Structure 1
Amino acid sequence: MTIWLPELSGLSGPRYKAIADALEADIKSGKLPPGTKLPTHRELADQLDVTVGTITRGYAEAARRGLLRGETGRGTFVGPAADKRLLCHQENISPSLVNMRVSLPFEHLAPDIGATLQAIGSDLSAQTLLEYFPSEGRLVDREAGVEWLRRYNLESCADDVALTVGGQNALAVVLSAIFRPGDALAVEGITYPLIKALANRFNIHLLPVKQDEFGMIPDSLDEVCRNNTVRGVYLMPTYQNPTTARLPEYRRHEIVNIARRYDLSILEDDAYALPAGDLGTPLATLAPERTFFVASLSKSLAGGLRVAYLHFPNRFANVIKSAIADLVWMTPPLTAEIARRWIMDGTADRTLAIKRKAASECAEMARTLLAGLDVTMPKSGYYAWLKLPEPWTARDFAREARKHDVLVNTDDVFVVGRQPLPHAIRLGLSGATTMDNLERGLRTVRTILTPR
């Protein structure tokens, strides 16, 4: 461990930020090369005569800048050199921009994959991870999936779970297995853009259902089903993308009753539920005979892992397995093994708790800086839904925000069909590179909408 003592005398701003700035300067100068182990929070706090919380915030800020990595049980280390951080999906985004288009899963807080790969490599059975396995995944991986589904308050069994290459692949598997070209799928009128793209790819007709601040309106779903032949319904019950709505318990029961009345399949996608917390009863618990539940690890652990667990009614087991085989054959056993180890050894739960805390801090900043505006978000969330005041449209706002180096999505990407636009924007709170970056983005939004 390096006895690192930062020089803070010439740095302004909050103490935690000065520590992060000093770390960045010493890393860039080569004083702290990649792989260097840093002092513990307590040791550095004693050296600088500050609180442990200040050091924790400083290290966290440095991690947000991609400078550090934490290893459970080992400590905090300087990360790889900037020119070696390859394959970054934001590598073409200028550092001066605040990217609020995306809702990234706080990637700097992901578990340490290096230590896990070393452990896998030392296992005598590691070579078998390069072999073919059944399309639904190994039994041990599906058992890990059963364990992970309990985080959603959903009890399952290994025979009713299959591994997929992320949540998007799980949705594609269900749509290709259960629906036929020309079938209709009921969705909220403002919905997750990928379901629009998948429906287009599989020639599935989307029928918009009315929604309010609590999500899908059951009476509207009933009306859509009375007037159309509907094959299924797609919902994100706990933390809807993009509106952040949470479906109340009574509506979950009403929607299940409607699904049974019209024999609908239910696609339940709760990608953001675990970071947001406050989970309700899964639709898959209320209607196990017709609900397909997608539990992706992307937002809770790491997007690049590309592992999700698909819970399905057992009567559909064969068609689900066939669809997986047709689309990808199987989820790579290596990434499935990484996921299994993280779930079973507690790494996944610890990571989820850390990310939930980070999301809570971002949401609290948004609530403070956007107070008085028509904005909704959960207590700990990756994004917020901001309804724009007159006379703003989403396109006009996005254009103005871009002039100030802030990127946001326009509302049309979320709207199904030719419905009226809601004149709202989804603000990604987890895509900013630092808390300072996020603060600048939020202050810019505020300034644009409340000019002097």
Structure 2
Amino acid sequence: MGTIWRPEQVEGQGPKYKAVMEMIRRGIEAGLLSENDRLPPVRELAWTLKITPGTVARAYKILTENGTLNAEIGRGTFVAPAVPVPAAEAPIEIDVISHRAEENDNPFAVSMFSPHLPAVGQDRLIREMLGRVAQDPPSGMMHYPSRTGAKPAREAVVRWLTGTPLGAFSETDIVLSHGGQNGLSLIFQAILRGSKPAVLIEELSYPGFRRAAELLRADVIPVAMDAQGVIPEALEEAAKKYDAQVFCTSPEVHNPTGIFTPVARREALVGVARRNDLQIVEDDCYRMRVDRAPTYRMLAPERGWYVSSLAKTLTPALRIGFAIAPEGRTPDLRRIAEYNCFGLATPLIDLCAMLLAHPQIDRLAAETSRVSGAYVRSAVNILGGYDVSWRADVPFLWLRLPLGWRSGAFCQAAEAQGVQIRTAEEFVCRDARAPHAVRLAINAGVSLKSFEAAVLRLRHLLDNPPEQLTV
């Protein structure tokens, strides 16, 4: 029960005791330390590594408390037997036909109000990492969040955003937020000035734009759209008429219609923004890591603000988002974030750093999209010849209702059938006229069979409108 493991020096940045812990973990992972192998005595290892015995003792103590090592009085410290943990790094194979959520799978009541992602292994991985953070939080448990402490999380976000056409940026440009909605609020606070600023949004748009602007007492002005997004001439007219400061948009995946704004249209809108000194705020939370066009931050680096999150790719539960300012405006955005809440909680920062740097995370995100895509295609097949806009990589569909249905009446009828959906009215300003349409979010938290049954009930309603036309 001895060991020939004899490290010669301790490596790594930060506290020495953590470096000793990591060195021991690496020794176990590399097979240099096996189950029941005895580690060198504290003073012997301290002498070898030229550090204090107290540093080694602290590392041994923490590793013993979290089950990595066993300490036996009078005998020494040994590598503990391996304890089975969820196989987060094992290849994940999912049969979407039999997929089940952790929650009760009610075959009748199905919410399609907001996207519900499938659990394809990210849930197990997050649970495992939460345990690791609880046992040995890299940021400690007695300190305020700090820029230095959050650096690993920001670096992990940079890795996560690899390939996203954002232009030049580094980890110092990343501002962590409590989800995408909080990121929008931080950006608005960094931009808006005056007692009654004007914010321009798409005439159909994500309600969060409107709510974040109204919290700051801004006037919210809808701008006309066509099949490619906001119409440049309409944006120019609104910018001049209202002396607007900000234009908010979701060009990659428009919420709720799924419209994609091509590069030529984006460039025309950038021209309008420059002529009228508009800042451009891009909500990119629905980009499913498939790049089709450059972001506004890349097209207009002096005025493009970017916000995204993990809510639509991994899980909305963690409320981890990130915002990036245009060139030269990062200090403004960072200052606003620090004045608001000092930053994310340190355990959440540690979890973000671990999660987004994990070697399996890209595959889990891709698997999440694949499973959701199967639900999308199934819904499209069931809805047949009805007027539906959809993309396989986007977890919602936009359904334009046939003659005989208004969106409010259709949603009430759907809810009576156990299906909750969103009306077009929720995506327009309060005094605007909404189209007769609804958004159906993908719920991959229930089995595909239950989801299909819910879509079939919607199809039955579409096939049988009220006898008295409501148009």
Pick the TM interval, shorter chain.
Answer: 0.7 to 0.9
Displacement of 1:213: 2.5
Paired residue for 2:111?
99
Contact persistence 1:137–1:162 (CA under 8 A): no
CA separation of 1:109 and 1:366: change in aligned 2, threshold 3 A: farther
Match of 2:232 among 218, 228, 234: 218
Paired residue for 2:311?
298
Paired residue for 1:65?
101
Paired residue for 2:169?
156
CA separation of 1:248 and 1:345: change in aligned 2, threshold 3 A: same
Paired residue for 2:322?
309
CA separation of 1:135 and 1:314: change in aligned 2, threshold 3 A: farther
- Between the aligned partners of 1:444 and 1:369, the Cα distance in structure 2 is 10
- Between the aligned partners of 2:236 and 2:211, the Cα distance in structure 1 is 25
Paired residue for 1:90?
none
Matches for 1:421-436 after TM superposition, within 5 Å: 421-430=434-443, 433-436=446-449
- Between the aligned partners of 1:449 and 1:140, the Cα distance in structure 2 is 51
Identity of aligned residues (%): 26
Matches for 1:48-447 after TM superposition, within 5 Å: 56-57=94-95, 60=96, 63-66=99-102, 96-107=108-119, 109-111=121-123, 112-121=125-134, 123=136, 126=138, 128=140, 130-134=142-146, 138-154=150-166, 155-180=168-193, 181-274=195-288, 277-430=290-443, 433-447=446-460
* Structure 1 unaligned blocks of 5 or more: 1-34, 43-51, 68-81, 83-92
* Cα shift readout 1:1-38 (whole Å, capped 9, x = no counterpart): xxxxxxxxxxxxxxxxxxxxxxxxxxxxxxxxxx9989
Amino acid at match of 2:301: P
- Between the aligned partners of 1:228 and 1:129, the Cα distance in structure 2 is 49
Displacement of 1:347: 3.0
* Structure 2 unaligned blocks of 5 or more: 1-83, 466-471
Amino acid at match of 1:153: P
Contact persistence 1:387–1:424 (CA under 8 A): yes
- Between the aligned partners of 1:103 and 1:160, the Cα distance in structure 2 is 29
**TM-score (structure 2 length as normaliser):** 0.74
- Between the aligned partners of 1:109 and 1:397, the Cα distance in structure 2 is 36
Q: Please say which structure displays the higher CA radius of gyration.
A: 2
**TM-score (structure 1 length as normaliser):** 0.77
CA separation of 1:354 and 1:315: change in aligned 2, threshold 3 A: same
* Cα shift readout 1:169-191 (whole Å, capped 9, x = no counterpart): 10010111211341111110111
Contact persistence 1:103–1:382 (CA under 8 A): yes
Judging by fraction of residues, say which structure has more helix.
Answer: 1
Paired residue for 2:52?
none
- Between the aligned partners of 2:392 and 2:170, the Cα distance in structure 1 is 32
Amino acid at match of 2:177: T
Give the CA RMSD over aligned residues. Answer: 2.7
Amino acid at match of 2:154: R
Paired residue for 1:49?
none
Total equivalences in the alignment: 377
Displacement of 1:281: 0.9
Amino acid at match of 1:128: G
CA separation of 1:172 and 1:37: change in aligned 2, threshold 3 A: closer
CA separation of 1:399 and 1:431: change in aligned 2, threshold 3 A: farther
Partner SS, residue 317 of structure 2: helix
Displacement of 1:421: 1.2
Partner SS, residue 390 of structure 1: coil
